[in-house]
Structure 1
Amino acid sequence: MITLAVFDMAGTTIDDGGAVYEALRRAVEETGVSVSPADLQNWMGTEKRAAITALIELGGGDPSPAGTVDAAFERFRAILDELYAETPPTPLPGIPAAIAALRAAGTKVALTTGFSVDVAEQILEGLGWVLSDPDDSAPNRAVRIDALVCGDEVASGRPAPYMIHRAMELTGTPDVSEVLVAGDTLVDVQAGARSGAAITIGVLSGKLSRDAFAGQPYSALLDSVAEVPDYLATSTA
């Protein structure tokens, strides 16, 4: 039985209009290098300081001078704030209902992200999503999740499995055979496989096509996380 579902945020559960992609590109290019779309896509879903460092190097720049990566990261956050102010993130279609259905069936739901804690919490606050707490005063209609794990809370972000294992720790899930992982990037499914999760799902709600997932270690490809409750109902029946 799956008792914990671990989902990525932007592109998987949340529609950010491509703001993360754009903010990351602009922040890195402001350091004086160019960023190829392929390299940018490969580093989507990873911890953002690590992504900035890699993209500067791939563009022929040098990220080693003191303050270079930190300055680019602050620009990333500032640009992202501007883009989110113009077009606030929204839940992808069917996601709130899917999260509610999973939790009603006894499956806890955790979100993982390459964002820093402050950025992720700001997004959730804007959406009206809350960490589950039986004593809180959030309205019953609010989307509730059981844990949030960010890239700056673990030793290494995706494709390392640490965020998934941290989500297990926070939700009291001791066995990876009870874990499902889903995300819209290659590093999402790679992290899921490395974690030992029973089920790793690639979803097509982000920028990647079905062909882009070829050869990746997924259990299934779905159009959206909204399909996960039905997938579990049929695959475990």
Structure 2
Amino acid sequence: MSGQPRTHSTAAKDLNTMIELAVFDMAGTTVDDHGIVYIALKDAVEETGAPVSAADLQEWMGADKVSAITALMKLGGQEPDGGRVAAAFVRFREILAERYAATPPVALPGVAEAIETLRGRGIKVALTTGFDDGVAYPLLESLGWAVGAGEGTMVDAVVTTSDVAQGRPAPYMIHRAMERTGVHNVRAVLAAGDTVVDMQAGRNAGAIAVGVLTGKLGRAELAAVSHDHILAGVADVPGLAETQPGA
């Protein structure tokens, strides 16, 4: 069974005995942004003259947005030189801000309770995102989610693309989350997200890779990627009976 994708575990160990850190993606995983990030990315790229197919858009969701814009422009037949990419990224942030103002993001059902449960067990919780600081922190502020180890905080750490040399599917954001929360063992980390690159980042980091069905992808699409578990959502993480990858 080692190396084969798994949708569930047969072990009866409680999650608290195995996991020191749960790392969750933001949009589509912990936050319902009403699909606005997809719209903003597609619109910003298409303003450069590059058509964006649904398949290509989905492939690059979850990645850092500069890399996504660069790839989608190239796929659409446009030259992604630095100036054009930078301008498209500015437009992405403008479109995102306008649409978020009109339709504010909200926490997905059960997420706040799940995070509270995990932290109550002594499990650290970190958020990672394909957004940079300028997008991620205002979004968290709008949700009322404070970051830190003190009383009244929502999560222990947040890692954005501003913090790393390369975003997903590289493992660096997960490893930075480990650094910020003092967790040393990658096998004691669970990483969950709603996109292919989220799951690839988890696998690349050596963590327990979990797909959740609260984004745009269905079970069959997520199951095609190497993984340890596929869950309905983050709300199900506290009840997960977990084994280590490769066990």
TM-score, structure 1 normalization: 0.93
In structure 1, give the amino acid aligned to 2:40.
A
Contact 1:111 1:148 in 2 (8 A): yes
Bigger RCO (CA 8 Å, 6+ sep) = 2
Q: Is the 8 A contact 1:47 1:152 kept in 2?
A: no
Q: Distance in 2 between matches of 1:115 and 1:210?
A: 25
Partner of 2:205: 195
1:209 aligns with 2:214: no
- Which of 170, 178, 190 pairs up with 2:188? 178
SS of the counterpart of 2:211? Answer: strand
4+ runs of 1 displaced by more than 2 Å? none
| C-alpha distance in 1 between matches for 2:209 and 2:87 | 35
- 2:71 maps to 54
Give how far 1:220 is off: 0.6
Match in the other structure for 1:220: 229
Q: CA deviation at 1:215?
A: 2.8
Which of 145, 148, 151 is the equivalent residue of 1:129?
A: 145
Write the distance in 1 (CA, Å) between the matches of 2:242 and 2:41.
37
1:88-136 CA-partner distances (Å, limit 9, x unpaired): 00000000000000000010000000001121000000000001242x7
- Percent identity over paired residues: 58
- Tell me whether 1:67 sits opposite 2:71 in the alignment: no
Given that 2:223 and 2:230 are in contact with CA atoms closer than 8 Å, whether structure 1 keeps it comes out as no
Q: Distance in 2 between matches of 1:8 and 1:62?
A: 30
Aligned pairs for 1:1-237 (under 5 A) are: 1-64=18-81, 66-134=82-150, 140=152, 144-197=154-207, 199-231=208-240, 234-235=241-242
User: 1:30-79 CA distances to partner (integer Å, 9 max, x unpaired)?
Assistant: 00110001000000000000000000000011012x41011000000000
Question: Any unmatched runs of 5+ in structure 2?
Answer: 1-17
Q: CA RMSD in A?
A: 1.1
Listed one character per residue, the Cα deviations across residues 139-171 of structure 1 (whole Å, up to 9, x for unaligned) are: x4xx61001001121111000000000000000
Corresponding letter in the other structure for 2:93: R
Give 1:211 shift.
Answer: 1.0
SS at match of 1:78: helix
TM-score for the superposition, normalised by structure 2: 0.89
How far is the alpha carbon of 1:176 from its aligned partner? Answer: 0.6
For residue 84 of structure 1, what is the amino acid of its counterpart? Y
Cα separation, 1, equivalents of 2:242 and 2:188: 14
Shift of 1:16: 0.1
- Match of 1:69, SS? helix
SS across alignment from 2:237: helix
Letter in 2 for 1:26: D
Question: 3-state DSSP class of the match of 1:11?
Answer: coil
Q: When the two structures are aligned, how many residues end up with a matched partner?
A: 226
Deviates more, 1:207-216 or 1:70-79: 207-216
Amino acid at match of 1:169: E
